[in-house]
Amino acid sequence: MDPPSGHAAQLNYPIAVLGGGIAGAAAALRLAQSGMRPVWIAPRRRDTFKPGEHLSGAAIPLLKTLNSDAMLRSEVHRHAHTTYSAWGSDTLAVRNAIAQIEGAAIVLDRGAFEDALGVQAIAAGAERIKCEVTDVRVTDGHWQLDTADGCITSDFIFDATGRKAIVASKFSTRFQADKLSCQYAVFSSPERLEPIPVTLIEAEERGWWYMSVLADQRVVVNFYSDADLPGFDTAALEENAHNTKAISAYLTDYGYGTPEHSSRMSTNSSWIAPAIGAGWVGIGDASAAFDPLSSHGMTTALWSAIEAADAFVAQDRQKMQAYADNVAKGVHDYLTARTHVYRSEKRWEGSPFWARRHGAR
């Protein structure tokens, strides 16, 4: 059998990290920093915009433990000192970083951030294989990972394949709390330069909107609603964005025109329980994926990668079990907080989107 393209002849690895997002890169890095030599398997990153740029200030201590916090000083990211939100009323409430105990959030260039973490992981000793795993199974106590170029075997797997959770969803149980989905668009930098760099959140009858200005002055606009509700149509995103109040005013004031890119993604709240099993652990969205309203997906990806890697390095079953228990507790706390936040918006209790979040089916 030929080895998968671009990697060494060795095909059996003690530890395999699957997935090239933040969780995969952080786990590969943490393991390598602890003297392990994980193989890190993930497809080549697509050269398109990856949404999810609001990194909570709570992530910074986690990046410090990875010696990765310096990468946030790159000019491709910006500090998010002010967030405005029209939630529960038409009035824009200001949230200033000075009042946030965890400090200012960062609006990331997501691709640049993931690339920088990956470069650090490889420099620390992780071996990267750029391919997709098409199937996983256990044979004679070893994982068999099929790829287009052949089979890789491993003794232990970190599943960081995001919402696909290719190992965790096959060997454990997936739960899903809603059908939230996102349409997003990226608008090119405007002709009128230096827009005020803000992040805006705006609720409306069919769901809610998020807008943020990137460091390069492009704007990201996301619309969240349930995928099965009428009107959730990517083709109408631009027109609908111009029907919002605060976000539309901002786009018009600064001359943001036609989006350069738009798409849609699932953003439902879902989780795997238990998040560990014989010879594997789920991390990042492959253990628990949250509503982007929480702005905690990337922070949780970092936290889970570090906790799971440390438990593995210590070869401590109790520590690994404690990790899975903490994931389950985090999901419980998150679901409680999510209910509270959605119920605080009472203007459209009769509309299907809000009625579902106020207890109706």
Ligand X SMILES: Cc1cc2nc3c(=O)[nH]c(=O)nc-3n(C[C@H](O)[C@H](O)[C@H](O)COP(=O)(O)OP(=O)(O)OC[C@H]3O[C@@H](n4cnc5c(N)ncnc54)[C@H](O)[C@@H]3O)c2cc1C
Chain residues binding ligand X by CB under 6 A are 18-24, 41-43, 51-55, 132-133, 160-162, 164, 166, 182, 184, 222, 265, 267, 284-286, 292, 295-299, 301
Contact 302, 26 (CB under 8 A): yes
- In degrees, rounded to 5, the angle at the alpha carbon of residue 299 between the alpha carbons of residues 17 and 80 is 135
Minimum CB–partner distance for residue 15 and ligand X (Å)? 15
Closest of 14, 6, 17, 46 to residue 149, by C-alpha: 6
* Least Å from the CB of residue 35 to ligand X: 23
What's the burial of 235, exposed, middle or buried (CB within 10 Å: 0-12/13-18/19+)? exposed
Query: From the CB of 325, what's the least distance to ligand X, in Å?
Result: 19
Report the alpha-carbon distance of residue 200 to residue 180 in Å, rounded: 19
CB of 22 to ligand X, least distance (A): 4
| CB nearer to ligand X: pick between 86 and 136 | 136
Q: Beta strand 173-176 with 150-159: parallel, antiparallel or unpaired? A: unpaired
Query: Whose Cβ is closer to ligand X: residue 50's or residue 358's?
Result: 50
DSSP element (H, E) containing 105:
strand 105-107
Q: Measure the CA–CA gap between 22 and 118, rounded to whole angstroms.
A: 9
Smaller CB distance to ligand X: residue 130 or 347?
A: 130
The DSSP H or E segment spanning 21 is none
Q: Of the two residues 271 and 354, which places its CB atom closer to ligand X in the complex?
A: 271
Residue number with CB closer to ligand X (170 or 358)? 170
| Tally: H helices and E strands in the chain | 9, 21
The DSSP annotation for 149-182 comes to TEEEEEEEEEE--GGG-TTHHHHSEEEE---EEE
Peptide bond into 274 cis (omega under 30): yes
For ligand X, the closer of residues 214 and 246 by Cβ is: 214
Closest approach of ligand X to the CB of residue 299, in Å: 6
Integer-rounded Cα Rg, in Å, for the chain is 21
Least Å from the CB of residue 207 to ligand X: 13
Question: Closest by alpha carbon to 256, among 270, 273, 266, 244?
Answer: 244
Nearest distance, CB of residue 283 and ligand X, angstroms: 7
Q: How far is the CB of 182 from ligand X (least distance, A)?
A: 4
Report the residue number, 4 or 284, with the smaller CB distance to ligand X: 284
Residue (110 or 357) nearer to ligand X, CB: 110
> Is the separation of the CB atoms in 244 and 103 below 8 Å?
no
Of 161 and 172, nearer to ligand X (C-beta) is: 161
Q: Least distance (Å) from ligand X to the CB of residue 173?
A: 18
Q: Is 13 exposed, middle or buried (0-12, 13-18, 19+ CB in 10 A)?
A: buried
